């Protein structure tokens, strides 16, 4: 299932549509590859605005219960 989320890293906001079975870190790699995020930034944890909890970039969006419309803010 595809979800639409916003990722905030280093004050940059990017909306993406991504497969919920992908790891969060894989989604970040796609954004870095397309020059939408700084190359040196690779956060391990994010704050989920919908769930009000910390999520790991090393798990899938579905494992961390990240749903459509969520905003993930990098913890740097």
pLDDT at 40: 78
Cα gap 5→70, rounded to integer Å: 5
Q: What is the pLDDT of residues 56-72, one digit of tens each?
A: 999 999 999 999 999 99
Chain centroid, CA 41 distance in Å: 12
Assigned architecture for domain 2-74: Roll (3.10)
The reported pTM is: 0.91
pLDDT at 34: 87
Q: What is the pLDDT of residues 2-44, one digit of tens each?
A: 999 999 988 889 999 999 999 999 998 988 888 888 777 789 9
51 has pLDDT over 80? yes
Longest dimension (CA), the chain: 30
């Amino acid at each position: 299932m595809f979800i639409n989320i916003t990722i905030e890293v280093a004050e940059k906001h990017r909306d993406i549509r991504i497969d919920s079975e992908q790891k969060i870190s894989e989604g970040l790699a796609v954004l870095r590859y397309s020059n939408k995020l700084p190359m040196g930034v690779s956060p391990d944890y994010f704050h989920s605005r919908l769930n009000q909890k910390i999520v790991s970039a090393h798990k899938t969006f579905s494992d961390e219960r990240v749903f459509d419309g969520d905003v993930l803010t990098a913890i740097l």
